């Protein structure tokens, strides 16, 4: 009989190349941490099988519900999600055990002929066709083009990273926009022709971060997984997701958010304290945007608050997100999101 402390831990993951890559990285970290082998369990979600655009099927939760069902059924010990895919309401019977150090949260442009967005839009005789399945990206790309006195055509697309880049390689689109983190995790970030500054395109709340989730009853596993948690990343994404939740918007809504901490506060370990040559940072800067998909109207606002004094202080980033959302709603954000999530 296998001892419960030595048997392989079962990690639930989606089947896509990106999901397998990021889950494989987490599996290695968990093995190094616990000494236990980690087995990847591939699970197909509704978001993987549906051919409809995410905005049509609700976006929120379509990639995570099957993984969560497997957790609750005891078929897997923990699951790895892209945090931006998680609904903002956390079920009581599941624990968000760890949010590791975040990868680059920015969006990346992959364009024909190595072009940047500014170069793509420079030719007045041709309207660049840019593929994305995200209303958030559509809103900001269209607004960016308008600010340059130009126009782009945003084309709804679905598919994995290979499929999306293939639209450009085959000449069907002039460019596509993808998350830089995903490209990095599968080793294709060098194909990006431009990393989009958050000053012009804010990422999705939680973009670039992973969520490691387990059943609440599995307290021993949760405690070990918690050692992979990065408090600065958790504070930042908590503020971003609080904004999203307070706007009553799902993850397919045209909402962007990014919370910034100074690089000197991004310590890789939560237990070392500031290094001798670093000064601990006390401020967290949160930016949010809501817009119409044609880019004609954007509500963009920001706020600054204190970095939580301890990993247990979730109230500070939660309140930051709620307060910024209230200000954005007062400026008319609700009317720009279409049908608000229930």
Between the alpha carbon of residue 37 and those of residues 2, 11, 16, 94, the distances in Å are 13, 10, 22, 23
Q: Are 199 and 106 in contact (CB under 8 A)?
A: no
* Catalytic residue ranges: 84-85, 136-137, 158, 164, 251
Residue 66 in tokens: 């099957």
Of the candidates 118, 102, 339, 64, the one whose C-alpha atom is nearest the C-alpha of residue 230 is: 102
Burial call 2-36: b when 16+ CB within 10 Å, e when fewer? eeeeeeebbbbbbebebbbebbbebbebbeeebeb
Q: Which of 271, 287, 118, 132 is nearest to 196 (CA)?
A: 118
SS3 115: coil
Write down the H helix ranges in 170-230: 180-185, 219-225
Where does 73-172 have alpha helices with state H? 117-120, 135-147, 161-169
Residue located via tokens 């639930």: 12
Pairing status of strand 283-291 against strand 255-260 = antiparallel
Task: Tell me the backbone φ, ψ of residue 288, rounded to 5 degrees.
Answer: -140, 155
Nearest to 54 by CA among 42, 46, 65: 46
Across-strand partners of 176? 110, 131
Nearest CA among 205, 211, 209, 210 for reference residue 244 = 205
């Amino acid at each position: 009989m296998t001892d419960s402390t030595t048997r392989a831990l079962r990690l639930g993951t989606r089947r896509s190349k990106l999901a397998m890559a990021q889950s494989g990285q987490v599996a290695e970290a968990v093995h190094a941490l616990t000494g236990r082998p980690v087995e990847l369990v591939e699970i197909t979600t509704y978001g993987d099988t549906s051919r409809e655009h995410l905005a049509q099927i609700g976006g929120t939760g379509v990639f995570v519900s099957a993984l969560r069902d497997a957790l609750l059924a005891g078929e897997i010990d923990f699951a790895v999600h892209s945090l931006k895919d998680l609904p903002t309401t956390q079920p009581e019977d599941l624990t968000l055990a760890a949010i590791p150090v975040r990868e680059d949260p920015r969006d990346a442009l992959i364009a024909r002929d190595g072009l940047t967005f500014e170069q793509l839009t420079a030719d007045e005789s041709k309207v660049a066709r840019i593929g994305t399945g995200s209303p958030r990206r559509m809103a900001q790309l269209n607004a960016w083009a308008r600010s340059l006195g130009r126009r782009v055509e945003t084309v709804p697309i679905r598919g994995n990273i290979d499929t999306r880049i293939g639209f450009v390689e085959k000449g069907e689109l002039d460019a596509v926009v993808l998350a830089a983190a995903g490209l990095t995790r599968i080793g294709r970030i060098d194909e990006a022709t431009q990393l989009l500054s958050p000053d012009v395109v804010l990422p999705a709340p939680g973009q670039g971060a992973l969520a490691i989730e387990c059943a609440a009853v599995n307290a021993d596993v949760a405690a070990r997984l918690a050692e992979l948690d990065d408090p600065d990343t958790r504070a930042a994404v908590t503020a971003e997701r609080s904004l999203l939740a307070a706007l009553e918007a799902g993850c397919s809504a045209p909402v962007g958010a990014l919370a910034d901490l100074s690089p000197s506060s991004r310590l890789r370990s939560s237990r070392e304290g500031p290094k001798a040559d670093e000064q601990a940072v006390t401020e967290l800067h949160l930016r949010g945007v809501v817009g119409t998909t044609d880019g004609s109207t954007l509500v963009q606002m920001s706020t600054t608050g204190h970095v939580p004094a301890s990993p247990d202080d979730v109230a500070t980033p939660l309140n930051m997100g709620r307060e910024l959302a209230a200000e954005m709603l007062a400026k008319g954000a609700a009317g720009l999101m279409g049908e608000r999530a229930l």
